[in-house]
Amino acid sequence: MSTASTTASPRGDAGNPTKGRWGLVVAALLLQLSLGAVYAWSVFSSALQKASAFKLTKPEATLPFEVAIGMIFIGTYLGGRIQDRRGPRTVAIAGGVIYGIGVIVASFARDGDHLALLVIGYGVLAGFGLGLAYIVPIAMLQKWFPDRRGLITGLAVGGFGFGAVVTAPIAQALIKNNPDVPTSAFLPLGIAYLIAAVIGAFFFRNPPEGYTVPGYTPATSGNVVDSGQDYTQGEALKTWQWYTLAAILTLAVLAGIAFISQAAASFADISGYTAAAAAAAVGFLGLFNGAGRIFWAAISGRLGRMRTFIAILAIEGVCILLIPHAHNAVLFFILAALVYLCYGGAFGTMPATAGDFFGVKHAGGIYGLMLIGWSLGGVVGPLIAAKLIGTDKDYTTAYTVIGIIALVAIVLPVITRIPRTRKDASEGALGTKTATR
């Protein structure tokens, strides 16, 4: 059974096939807001290190977040493949439920001896559910908006970046009610995440077979070029471009999330923010994470995808190099905001880039697998930061290493170009190659 036959047709008259598609954007944002709360982890990390019932070390307090990010790839890989075949609604609802339940399970970790339960709930379950649901609106909305691929993928993940804006101050307030057991905040948060995710996912649907946007023709020249063909996942994996795109995403994520995982502590230790002020700053920075996804994705349509990634990596790297020397509170915040903006920009721009390179028919599977970069970068980046910062709080060494990684990564978008040929799988292993433009 085809995907189209398992999902509802867009509401509206036959003469306006695009009517109702913006409502799907609103539903996607609601889902992504709940999922994006994961970026407020540094608030919990700081509290878990100070709480009398936990007193976790910095690496221990980082572990649930690292596991969650690591599990995302498994979820996006499976979610992408399933939703390409079965449609988006069921997959997104399942992901939202698993995510919410995982956060609720984490609330039952009451002291340091329950670290394993915290890792299982917040890390394994919530991370898997997050990945399962996250990939769905990205793939779905690209099919509805082939004419605005850059902007729409930015919006599709923009809500994810804004999730921490809502969660961080709420989490801080909940933690204050029981500072000795900060995990108690996960119970109301988990319930709220579950409800919001399910409501948003309920409206998801793919466009019908033969759906087109009136007046839209794929570009064959200019800064942004459409490959003009829909690769299968197997065909995409046979191109070297898939691997360079995955590497670009990995390194952009590694640099940004290394700082994000230590954001609250960095605000306090480097620029003297109070715990409350640091939590508020982390929450506010979620605006830049979300805005970066929309801003860079939209601008990539004019600047070009690879030039956009060059800019993202360059700004990210330079700012991270400067952060440990930014003792002025205002300067520190500006640099941190730019890091968040660029980190979000990588997630906003890469789905559209993958769509340009490989088409959108199998976007769930192709980009879902590419999100291994999120998991790799999300595990390695925080680990590097936590190990190099250590108990002596050596931010200079840690952020210098991370900044250099981002700057060296610039070579990848410099050499990456859209595939010009594709092996036609329907002609077998010895199939011919067809020019795309």
| CATH number of the domain enclosing 194 | 1.20.1250.20
Confirm whether 403 is domain-assigned. Answer: yes
Domain assignment of residue 375, given as a range: 21-208+226-426
Task: Write the CB contacts of 237 (distance below 8 Å, at least 6 apart in sequence).
Answer: 369
Confirm whether 348 is domain-assigned. Answer: yes
pLDDT (mean) for 196-213: 89
Confirm whether 216 is domain-assigned. Answer: no
* pLDDT value at 109 more than 90: yes
Confirm whether 217 is domain-assigned. Answer: no
Q: Please tell me the predicted confidence (pLDDT) of residue 320.
A: 97
Of 203, 204, 200, 188, nearest in space to 100 by CA? 188
- Span 38-85, pLDDT tens digits: 878 878 988 999 898 898 988 899 899 889 988 988 998 898 888 878
* pLDDT value at 433 more than 80: no
> Which range is least confidently modeled, 65-74, 124-133, 190-199?
65-74
pLDDT (mean) for 417-435: 49
* pLDDT value at 348 more than 70: yes
Confirm whether 218 is domain-assigned. Answer: no
Confirm whether 1 is domain-assigned. Answer: no
Task: Pick from 15-24, 202-211, 400-409 the range whose average pLDDT is largest.
Answer: 400-409
Confirm whether 108 is domain-assigned. Answer: yes
Q: Please tell me the predicted confidence (pLDDT) of residue 70.
A: 82
CA distance 236 to 364: 12
Q: Please tell me the predicted confidence (pLDDT) of residue 420.
A: 75
pLDDT interval class at 424 (50, 70, 90) = very low
- The count of domains in the chain is 1
Instruction: Confirm if 399 and 320 have CB atoms less than 8 A apart.
Output: yes
pLDDT interval class at 182 (50, 70, 90) = very high
Q: Is 435 exposed, middle or buried (0-12, 13-18, 19+ CB in 10 A)?
A: exposed
* pLDDT value at 428 more than 90: no
pTM exceeds 0.85? no
Confirm whether 96 is domain-assigned. Answer: yes
Q: Please tell me the predicted confidence (pLDDT) of residue 382.
A: 87
